[in-house]
A and B are shown apart, each in its own frame.
Chain A
Amino acid sequence: GAGVSQSPSNKVTEKGKDVELRCDPISGHTALYWYRQSLGQGLEFLIYFQGNSAPDKSGLPSDRFSAERTGGSVSTLTIQRTQQEDSAVYLCASSPPLFRVETQYFGPGTRLLVL
């Protein structure tokens, strides 16, 4: 079956421009996560959507970062006025409805380079 997909796979932008990253989760998955992974670093949690609940935005590094999830499915992560330190791989993951243990299914990521 189809897994988590992300687009674009690569994005090069100039400092100060806005970017939008898209995530299509696995159909039926109620939870969706965004992470940032820099070279040699672990997964930095950004934001978490669970069903119709208010998202957990506690990981967003600044107010330049925002995310929305429309219709409980597709999600868009927006970075405004990009900075060079925003360069990283942005990973999206989805999870099935809450059960005994959480299994996150990751997309391939979007590699963002801010020049």
Chain B
Amino acid sequence: QKEVEQDPGPLSVPEGAIVSLNCTYSNSAFQYFMWYRQYSRKGPELLMYTYSSGNKEDGRFTAQVDKSSKYISLFIRDSQPSDSATYLCAMSLFLTGGFKTIFGAGTRLFVKA
């Protein structure tokens, strides 16, 4: 079993739709939860991070963490064609000597105009 599971999609939605992206994990020691966005032929860029259960909002994006269920989500409201990208979840814990970060496989999102 992988430490982090993420449905690779692709997910195709019409412009303006609400998008829900999800990941599950198995290691309850993870402390930090992140979402990265990766455009085609580019490196991933950090979109949001959180370290507690609950919701964190940033503009059209909301990150949700449920530690009891080991489940995290990213919601995109009023999705735009420019949101078309691959979204990777990532989880970290701090160990002696540095962080251990595990990335999900990424979900490809297409927002149709």
Given known contacts A42-B6, A43-B44, A104-B46, is B98 in contact with A98 (CB within 8 Å)? yes
Within 54-99 of A, Cβ neighbours of B (below 8 Å) are at 56, 91, 93, 95, 98
Q: Give the residue name and chain of the B residue nearest to A103 (CB).
A: B46
In the complex, A85 Cα to B8 Cα: how many Å?
A: 21
CB proximity of A91 to chain B, nearest CB, Å: 6
In the complex, A105 Cα to B45 Cα: how many Å?
A: 7
A103 contacts across to B, CB distance below 8 A = 46, 49
Number of A residues, CB within 8 Å of B: 26
CB proximity of B85 to chain A, nearest CB, Å: 13
Q: Give the residue name and chain of the A residue nearest to B95 (CB).
A: A56
Check if B97 sits within 8 Å of A93, measured CB to CB: no
Q: Give the residue name and chain of the A residue nearest to B96 (CB).
A: A53
Check if A106 sits within 8 Å of B8, measured CB to CB: no
B105 within 8 A of A: yes
Check if A106 sits within 8 Å of B98, measured CB to CB: no
In the complex, A104 Cα to B12 Cα: how many Å?
A: 28
Given known contacts A48-B98, A102-B99, is B104 in contact with A42 (CB within 8 Å)? yes
Q: Out of A42, A48, A98, A108, which one reaches B43, CB within 8 Å?
A: A108
Check if B43 sits within 8 Å of A101, measured CB to CB: no
Check if B49 sits within 8 Å of A107, measured CB to CB: no
B42 contacts across to A, CB distance below 8 A = 108-109
In the complex, A60 Cα to B20 Cα: how many Å?
A: 34
Q: Out of B49, B88, B97, which one reaches A101, CB within 8 Å?
A: B49
A21 within 8 A of B: no
B 50-78 binary contact with A (CB < 8 Å = 1; else 0): 01000000000000000000000000000
Check if A102 sits within 8 Å of B105, measured CB to CB: no
Q: Give the residue name and chain of the A residue nearest to B98 (CB).
A: A50
In the complex, A108 Cα to B38 Cα: how many Å?
A: 10
A 33-47 binary contact with B (CB < 8 Å = 1; else 0): 001000011110100
Pairs A-B, 3 closest by C-beta atoms: A106-B43, A42-B105, A43-B103
- Please list the residues of chain B having a beta carbon within 8 angstroms of any beta carbon in chain A: 4, 6, 8, 32, 41-46, 49, 51, 88, 92, 97-99, 101-106
